[in-house]
């Protein structure tokens, strides 16, 4: 009998939504399983990527994002065309940045003119993304909707405050709307209900759950998307059975890390690869959370995410996917020089990690450990008047405390601290010797020599102990291997036996009633015995 | 009282009402809309109706022309039913007959649960906490020179089989004189122990037989109002009741500001003495009204929320408002009323209801005890809606409770024209969905001054069903009526224009008011849902709902379900008990069985801090919608709305 995966049965499916018109119309959604779980249900339409363009020349884009489009940034129509013809975009998102009342505040008529130009230049579906200023979006999108009747544009974001204006207009002129809400499953549902109550047909709604950039709240969006998909598919909530869209590129590329140059943040590596990979990582995460449409910016990120979608849905080898092809000059970052000095003692100690050995080692180590602080005290005493001595002492104490608090991590730290202490002790002794009167000099020298001798002795003792330990550890490891092998054999036999006689499950003698369960649970919360 | 049938045309709706009922209220109860904005004072003249058959008293006003009156027109608000009637509502605005029938549904009010003493006696639950016994004993002489108290005890043993008696020193001091003055015929007050193995305390001695006069006082210490009752311990009747504003109000309306004040120098003493003085004035008033002598009061019981209880007992409430929100005590010992400055005789024992937690206090425990849910099999949802709201779910086996931060919207707080249920408050409402003319019915049938809790619920529910406000509680901006307007960026709906209002300006309902109502109902509903889910139950598992609180039994249940305050449940399952806290206080004055059970009940009540219960926030956001984001929880409303939609489209 082969291994069988437990398969979930679903109570609903996402409604398929067609965007755009004609040959190049795109259908998204329609899945009857959790995202990419094609072993449990159908995912008739692959998640799609919409390429992002702006209706005005972006002034604050990061260099790597600008580079592929540098010749078309000031002409939305040419930009859109380039996306479709050069980069094979399935869809175009026109971000209506110029409409922002806090920025250029372009009039609805100006926006309509741009939209028409872009529409002429392309034949793939067009998504229009407003400014998230409710009033202005309503003004602009209503006007666009009216002037582009029958184009089946996708208009968003539509929020509860402007759902009526945009919703009614989109419904009247044959467009699709993006129902947007701030990262909450209930609020998402509420906007959808409002749109449905308005009469927007159920094949004209897409959900925007609000997208957080990588490292900037992505986990919140992720879990809300999960909840939306679960409600839609597992609980069969028909108010949430719509495809989802994520305005990702805009979020990723505006964050600090995507815009820092190699000089500003050398430890983050090549800025071009960095931005692309951040966008890819975000996209892949959102695909797993259930995104149906991803709005993305960089052609290289898009190429990689597309290949991810194909691989995961159709199979194949990721080795055939080309690495990022750079368009900007390579940056030379000396990572080695930034790396912290490797601490070899730590490595050495780490090898001796097995538990039994560690316990023994601790016993043995105790002596030198005790010895070290003693010695320090001795030397510190004559030096009491020196300012240097005090802070050093203070440093040593917390270190010792820390050790006590974390016995497991101790091994490495102990050794290191010990070394340091020794060094310190020596330095102190030297300094003192120089500053003391001549009469004392000799005495001090003696002391120092003694200390060195002692230290040497300790070092030797330690090495010896270590060699012993190593031998012991190897012996123990060998024994352990033998033991494991025996255990495995036993388990195997047991399993074979179990397979022959499948155990039957008998119900508990006393079946708990619902009441018993409630009372038991409350007792636990209440801390009643 | 004689009852008559009133038929309304063209609605073809019929209702039976008492003689003398105003026609407008009859119409409202039948679910018939009549335009009326002045609350029933007869000044707007909009509620013109034609009496086709039968007779009414009054109903005539200068608003009606002579011709009208001759033709049989009357003002509905001024007309009193005097016989069976057929009344035609003139369709001044053209309303399609289909729409007419969609207007309203007949009122569904909750049954009112009354305390039934006979029932208690039958169940053996009537164990008076203080009993009076009459004894006659022989006078001492040279042959029989036992001590006075020994003589009294002997008589009590002989005549009444009393054992385990102990005397208060104050009583002992009175014994020698009283028994001689009374010729050895006296009545003693015996306080029964709460636990059966306790001692019986003799707390008073009076001359002669006064056993038929035994009284108690019950007091509900509310954050806003303090209510008191004088109760006859023999008949169980309430002889007098009175409520007065808690004079602590001048130091803040909510408990948090009271606690803040109590933390100031001398603040606790001040608030304590204000509570005591309000209680003393209430006691004086009810004693006077009941005609009882102060000396005949045997016991006094109190219930109040945790903060009120601590302030009343002068126990520092400082830690109630600080995490982890710990009250000073759950159970308070009985004490002498005079000890805390109450103006009552020395023998009166005071008993205070125990607390569950900082925010589920003695008032809720009192409700649970008073309503009897703690000993019933049925799974009951108890909700007390006052200055705040608390919910308890459970039965005789288990109880869970939570305090919901609902705020005072149902008492008129945070509502522009909000007011308590007093004269001039709109308490019922209907609206013509086409002409958008309202029908305001006010307490006292006077011009509308404001809107009370039940009026607010009804108004929002009706407007929502009529499509005047949407699921978010926002007005439909497309409505063509001067009543809907935007003032300082806020949309509001004029319920009564200034010329017919009892205020010096238009009485309005604003979107902010609706928002506050939605938050309040959302907090209560989500509190219930969170508790239910914590015990793995759903709304369908509730056998009944008991509502307590000041907002009146007049509340229309269907409307509370329309706005999603109550879950959709058979109206028969809902009962209303009014002031649950006072009811509980009265019960514990009447019978020791309550005092006996209350400790076990308090231990049984598992408190959930909603702010620390994971699912609460989710439930709350879901409930901030009319009626709820999960609309399938309200199938009846859904069906009504769909029906309306269909008919409007035809």
Instruction: Please write the tens of the pLDDT for every residue from B290-313.
Output: 999 999 999 999 999 999 999 999
Say whether B223 sits in a helix, a strand or coil. Answer: coil
| Closest residue by Cα to residue B634 from B565, B581, B554 | B565
Res A357: pLDDT: 47
Residue of B nearest to A198 (CA): B470
Res B450: pLDDT: 92
As a whole number of angstroms, the distance between CA A72 and CA A517 comes to 67
Q: Which residues of B touch A525 (CB under 8 A)?
A: 606, 608
Instruction: Please write the tens of the pLDDT for every residue from B421-436.
Output: 888 889 889 888 888 8
* Average pLDDT score, chain B: 88
Contacts 24+ apart (CB under 8 A), A35-43: A35/A229, A35/A287, A35/A288, A35/A289, A35/A290, A35/A291, A36/A287, A36/A288, A36/A312, A36/A313, A37/A8, A38/A313, A39/A5, A39/A7, A40/A7, A40/A8, A40/A10, A41/A10, A41/A13, A42/A13, A43/A313
Give the nearest partner residue to A190 out of B397, B398, B629, using CB atoms: B629
Residue of A nearest to B541 (CA): A514
For the domain that residue A233 is a member of, what is the CATH number?
Answer: 3.20.20.20
Res A425: pLDDT: 73
Looking up tokens 């969905």 gives B433
% chain B with pLDDT above 70: 95
Q: Which of A161-165, B27-31, B387-391, B618-622 has the lowest mean pLDDT?
A: B27-31
Give the nearest partner residue to A194 out of B470, B537, B603, using CB atoms: B470
As a whole number of angstroms, the distance between CA B537 and CA A515 comes to 10
Res B107: pLDDT: 65
As a whole number of angstroms, the distance between CA A339 and CA A267 comes to 9
Whether A320 and A422 share a structural domain? no
Contact A127, A87 (CB under 8 A): no
A228–chain B nearest CA distance, Å: 13
Give the nearest partner residue to B629 out of A189, A521, A525, using CB atoms: A189
Contact B566, B557 (CB under 8 A): yes
3-state secondary structure A203-238: CCEEEECCCCECCEEHHHHHHHHHHHHHHHHCCCCC
Contact A190 B536 (CB under 8 A): no
DSSP B102-154: TS-----BPEEP---HHHHHHTT----SEEEEEEE-PPP-SS----HHHHHHH
- Cβ neighbours, 10 Å, residue B245: 12
Residue A220 located in a structural domain: yes
- Sorted by sequence, the CB contacts under 8 Å of residue B532 that are 6+ apart come out as B393, B538, B539, B541, B542
Instruction: Please write the tens of the pLDDT for every residue from B513-531.
Output: 999 999 999 999 999 999 9
Residue A9 located in a structural domain: no
Domain B1-92 has CATH 3.40.50.10170: no
Interface membership of B613 toward A (CB under 8 Å): no
Give the nearest partner residue to A186 out of B397, B622, B631, using CB atoms: B622
Res A471: pLDDT: 82
With a CB-CB cutoff of 8 Å, which residues 237-296 of chain B face chain A? Answer: none
Res B42: pLDDT: 78
Q: Which residues of B touch A193 (CB under 8 A)?
A: 471, 625, 629, 631
Contact A190 B471 (CB under 8 A): yes
- Cβ neighbours, 10 Å, residue B435: 15
Interface membership of B646 toward A (CB under 8 Å): no
Q: How many CB pairs (< 8 A) connect A and B?
A: 49
Interface membership of B352 toward A (CB under 8 Å): no
The dihedral sign for the CA sequence B72, B73, B79, B81: positive
Res B10: pLDDT: 77
pLDDT at B195 over 90: no
A252–chain B nearest CA distance, Å: 28
In CATH terms, the superfamily for domain B215-352 is Domain of unknown function (DUF4445) (3.30.420.480)
As a whole number of angstroms, the distance between CA B44 and CA A338 comes to 86
> Structurally, how many domains does chain A consist of?
2
Residue A421 located in a structural domain: yes
Contact B618 A185 (CB under 8 A): yes
Residue A381 located in a structural domain: no
Residue of B nearest to A186 (CA): B622
Q: Which residues of A touch B471 (CB under 8 A)?
A: 190, 193-194, 197
User: At CB < 8 Å, which residues of chain A contact B?
Assistant: 160, 164, 184-187, 189-190, 193-194, 197, 239, 514-515, 517-519, 521-522, 525-526, 528
Residue A514 located in a structural domain: no
Whether A182 and A286 share a structural domain? yes
Whether A317 and A426 share a structural domain? no
Res A243: pLDDT: 97
Interface membership of B63 toward A (CB under 8 Å): no
A232–chain B nearest CA distance, Å: 13
Residue A260 located in a structural domain: yes
Looking up tokens 């030096």 gives A383
Comparing B100 with A287, which gets the higher pLDDT?
Answer: A287
Residue A102 located in a structural domain: yes
| Closest residue by Cα to residue B387 from B305, B454, B449, B327 | B305
Whether A447 and A318 share a structural domain? no
Contact B606 A189 (CB under 8 A): no
Instruction: Please write the tens of the pLDDT for every residue from A137-161.
Output: 999 999 999 999 999 999 999 999 9
Q: Which of B393, B465, B621 to mutate to test the interface with A (most CBs of A within 10 A)?
A: B621
Residue B513, token pair as written in the block: 């008011």
Contact B397 A186 (CB under 8 A): no
Contact B621 A517 (CB under 8 A): no
Q: Is this structure's pTM higher than 0.80?
A: no
Contact A327, A60 (CB under 8 A): no
DSSP state of A69: G
Whether A102 and A207 share a structural domain? yes
Q: Which residues of B touch A162 (CB under 8 A)?
A: none
CATH architecture of structural domain B129-207: Roll (3.10)
* pLDDT averaged per 10 residues, chain A (length 529): 80 94 93 92 94 94 94 95 95 96 94 96 96 94 95 94 94 96 95 94 95 92 96 94 96 93 91 95 96 97 96 91 91 86 70 52 47 46 46 46 51 67 72 67 72 74 78 80 82 73 69 85 76
Contact B470 A515 (CB under 8 A): no
Give the nearest partner residue to B536 out of A189, A194, A518, using CB atoms: A518
Contact B621 A521 (CB under 8 A): no
Looking up tokens 């009283």 gives B178
Whether A305 and A453 share a structural domain? no
Contact B606 A514 (CB under 8 A): no
Backbone φ and ψ of B493, nearest 5°: -120, 130
As a whole number of angstroms, the distance between CA B331 and CA B355 comes to 7
Q: Which domain holds residue A449?
A: 414-434+443-457
Contact B398 A187 (CB under 8 A): no
Q: Which of A159, A190, A195 to mutate to test the interface with B (most CBs of B within 10 A)?
A: A190
Comparing B547 with A421, which gets the higher pLDDT?
Answer: B547
As a whole number of angstroms, the distance between CA A179 and CA A195 comes to 8
Residue of A nearest to B474 (CA): A161
Contact B606 A525 (CB under 8 A): yes
Residue of A nearest to B602 (CA): A526
Contact A186 B621 (CB under 8 A): yes
Q: Which residues of A touch B608 (CB under 8 A)?
A: 525
Whether A305 and A424 share a structural domain? no
Whether A322 and A430 share a structural domain? no
A286–chain B nearest CA distance, Å: 22
What angle (nearest 5°) sits at the alpha carbon of residue B92, between those of residues B90 and B94? 110
Say whether B450 sits in a helix, a strand or coil. Answer: strand
Whether A211 and A102 share a structural domain? yes
Interface membership of B471 toward A (CB under 8 Å): yes
Residue A393, token pair as written in the block: 């002492």
Q: Name the band, by pLDDT with cuts 50, 70 and 90, for residue B194.
A: confident
Contact B621 A184 (CB under 8 A): yes
Q: Which residues of A touch B537 (CB under 8 A)?
A: 518
Q: Strand B130-136 vs strand B85-88: parallel, antiparallel, or unpaired?
A: unpaired
Residue A511, token pair as written in the block: 């079946």
Interface membership of B335 toward A (CB under 8 Å): no
Interface membership of B167 toward A (CB under 8 Å): no
DSSP state of B176: H
Q: Rg of chain A over CA atoms, in angstroms?
A: 34
Tell me the CATH number of domain B369-407+522-647, given options 3.30.420, 3.80.30, 3.40.50, 1.10.3470.
Answer: 3.30.420
């Amino acid at each position: 009998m082969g291994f069988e995966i437990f398969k979930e049965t679903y109570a609903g499916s996402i409604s398929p939504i067609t965007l755009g018109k004609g040959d190049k119309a795109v259908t998204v959604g329609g899945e009857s399983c959790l995202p990419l779980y094609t072993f449990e249900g159908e995912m008739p339409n692959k998640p799609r990527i919409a390429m992002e363009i702006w209706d005005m020349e972006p002034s604050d884009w990061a260099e790597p994002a600008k580079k592929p489009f540098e010749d078309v940034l000031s002409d939305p129509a040419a930009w859109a065309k380039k996306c479709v013809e050069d980069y094979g975009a399935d869809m175009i998102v026109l971000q209506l940045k110029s409409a922002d009342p806090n920025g250029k505040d372009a009039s609805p008529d100006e926006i309509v003119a741009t939209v028409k130009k872009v529409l002429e230049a392309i034949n793939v579906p067009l998504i229009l993304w407003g400014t998230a200023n409710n009033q202005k979006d309503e003004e602009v999108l209503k006007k666009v909707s009216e002037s582009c009747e029958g184009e089946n544009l996708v208009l968003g974001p539509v929020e509860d405050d402007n759902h009526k204006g945009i919703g009614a207009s989109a419904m009247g002129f044959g467009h699709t709307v993006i129902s947007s809400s701030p990262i909450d499953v209930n609020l998402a549902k509420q906007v959808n209900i409002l749109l449905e109550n308005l009469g927007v047909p159920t094949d004209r709604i897409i959900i925007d759950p609000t997208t957080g950039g990588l490292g900037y709240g992505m986990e919140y969006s992720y879990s809300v998307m999960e909840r939306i998909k679960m409600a839609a598919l597992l609980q069969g909530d028909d108010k949430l059975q719509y495809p989802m869209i994520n305005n990702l590129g805009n979020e990723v590329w505006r964050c600090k890390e995507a815009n820092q140059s190699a000089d500003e943040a050398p430890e983050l590596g090549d800025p071009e690869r960095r931005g692309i990979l951040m966008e890819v990582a975000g996209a892949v995460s959102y695909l797993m959370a259930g995104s149906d449409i991803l709005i993305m910016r960089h052609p290289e990120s898009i190429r990689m995410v597309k290949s991810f979608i194909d691989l995961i849905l159709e199979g194949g080898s990721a080795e055939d996917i080309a690495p990022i092809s750079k368009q900007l000059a390579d940056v030379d970052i000396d990572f080695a020089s930034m790396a912290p000095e490797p601490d070899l003692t730590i490595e050495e100690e780490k090898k001796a990690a097995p538990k039994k050995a560690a316990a023994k080692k601790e016993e043995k180590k105790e002596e030198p450990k005790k010895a070290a602080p003693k010695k320090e005290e001795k030397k510190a005493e004559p030096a009491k008047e020196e300012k240097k001595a005090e802070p050093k002492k203070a440093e040593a104490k917390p270190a010792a405390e820390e050790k006590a608090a974390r016995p497991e991590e101790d091994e490495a730290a102990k050794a290191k601290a010990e070394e340091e202490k020794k060094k310190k002790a020596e330095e102190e002794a030297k300094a003192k010797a120089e500053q003391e009167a001549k009469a004392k000099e000799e005495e001090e020298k003696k002391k120092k020599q003694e200390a060195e001798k002692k230290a040497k002795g300790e070092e030797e003792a330690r090495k010896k102990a270590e060699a012993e330990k190593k031998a012991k550890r190897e012996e123990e490891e060998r024994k352990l291997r033998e033991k494991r092998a025996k255990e495995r054999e036993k388990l195997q036999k047991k399993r074979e036996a179990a397979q022959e006689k499948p155990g039957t499950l008998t119900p508990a003698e006393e079946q708990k009633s619902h009441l018993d369960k409630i009372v038991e649970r409350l007792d636990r919360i209440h801390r009643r015995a | 009282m004689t009852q008559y049938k009133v038929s309304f045309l063209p609605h073809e709706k019929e209702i039976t009402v008492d003689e003398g009922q105003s026609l407008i209220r009859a119409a409202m109860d039948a679910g018939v809309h009549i335009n009326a904005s002045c609350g029933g004072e007869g000044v707007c003249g909009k509620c013109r109706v034609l009496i086709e058959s039968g007779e009414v008293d009054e109903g005539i006003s200068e608003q009606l022309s002579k011709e009208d009156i001759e033709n049989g027109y009357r003002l509905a608000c001024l007309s009193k039913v005097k016989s069976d009637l057929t009344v035609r509502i003139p369709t001044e605005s053209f309303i399609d007959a289909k729409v007419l029938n969609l207007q309203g549904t007949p009122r569904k009010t909750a049954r009112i649960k009354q305390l039934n003493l006979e029932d208690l006696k039958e169940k053996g639950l009537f164990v008076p906490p203080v009993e009076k016994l009459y004894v006659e004993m022989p006078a001492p002489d040279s042959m029989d020179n036992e001590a006075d108290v020994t003589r009294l005890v002997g008589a009590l043993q002989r005549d009444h089989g009393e054992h385990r008696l102990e005397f208060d020193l104050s009583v002992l001091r009175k014994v020698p004189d009283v028994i001689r003055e009374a010729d050895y015929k006296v009545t003693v007050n015996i306080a029964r122990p709460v636990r059966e193995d306790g001692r019986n305390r003799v707390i008073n001695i009076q001359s002669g037989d006064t056993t038929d006069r035994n009284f108690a006082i019950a007091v509900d210490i509310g954050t806003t109002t303090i209510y008191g009752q004088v109760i006859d311990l023999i008949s169980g009747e309430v002889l007098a009741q009175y409520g007065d504003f808690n004079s602590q109000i001048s130091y803040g309306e909510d408990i948090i500001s009271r606690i803040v004040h109590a933390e100031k120098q001398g603040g606790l003493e001040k608030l304590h003495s204000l509570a005591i003085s309000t209680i003393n004035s209430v006691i004086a008033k009810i004693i006077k009204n009941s005609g009882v002598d102060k000396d005949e009061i045997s016991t006094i019981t109190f219930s109040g929320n945790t903060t009120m209880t601590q302030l009343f007992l002068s126990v520092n409430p400082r830690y109630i408002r600080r995490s982890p929100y710990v009250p000073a005590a759950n159970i308070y010992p009985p004490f002498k009323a005079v000890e805390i400055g109450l103006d009552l005789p020395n023998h009166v024992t005071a008993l205070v209801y125990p607390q569950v937690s900082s925010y589920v206090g003695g008032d809720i425990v009192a409700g649970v005890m008073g309503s009897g849910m703690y000993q019933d099999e049925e799974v009951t949802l108890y909700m007390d809606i006052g200055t705040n709201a608390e919910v308890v779910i459970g039965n005789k086996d288990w109880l869970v409770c939570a305090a919901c931060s609902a705020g005072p919207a149902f008492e008129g707080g945070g509502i522009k024209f909000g007011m308590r249920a007093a004269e001039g408050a709109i308490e019922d409402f209907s609206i013509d969905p086409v002409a958008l003319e309202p029908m305001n019915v006010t307490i006292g049938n006077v011009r509308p001054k404001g809107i009370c809790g039940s009026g607010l619920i009804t108004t929002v529910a009706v407007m929502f069903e009529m499509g005047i406000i949407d699921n978010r509680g926002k007005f439909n901006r497309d409505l063509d009526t001067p009543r809907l307007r935007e003032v300082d960026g806020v949309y509001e709906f004029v319920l009564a224009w200034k010329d017919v209002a009892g205020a010096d300006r238009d009485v309005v309902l604003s979107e902010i008011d609706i928002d506050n109502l939605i938050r309040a109902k959302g907090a209560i509903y989500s509190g219930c849902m969170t508790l239910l889910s914590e015990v793995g139950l759903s709304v369908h598992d509730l056998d009944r709902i008991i509502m307590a609180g000041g907002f009146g039994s007049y509340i229309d249940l269907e409307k509370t379900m329309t706005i999603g305050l109550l879950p959709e449940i058979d109206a028969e399952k809902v009962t209303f008990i009014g002031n649950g806290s006072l009811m509980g206080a009265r019960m514990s004055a009447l019978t020791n069985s309550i005092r006996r059970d209350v400790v076990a009940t308090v231990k049984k009540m598992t408190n959930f801090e909603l702010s620390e219960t994971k699912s609460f926030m989710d439930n709350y956001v879901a409930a901030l919608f009319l009626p709820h984001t999960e609309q399938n929880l309200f199938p009846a409303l859904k069906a009504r709305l769909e029906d309306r939609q269909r008919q409007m489209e035809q």
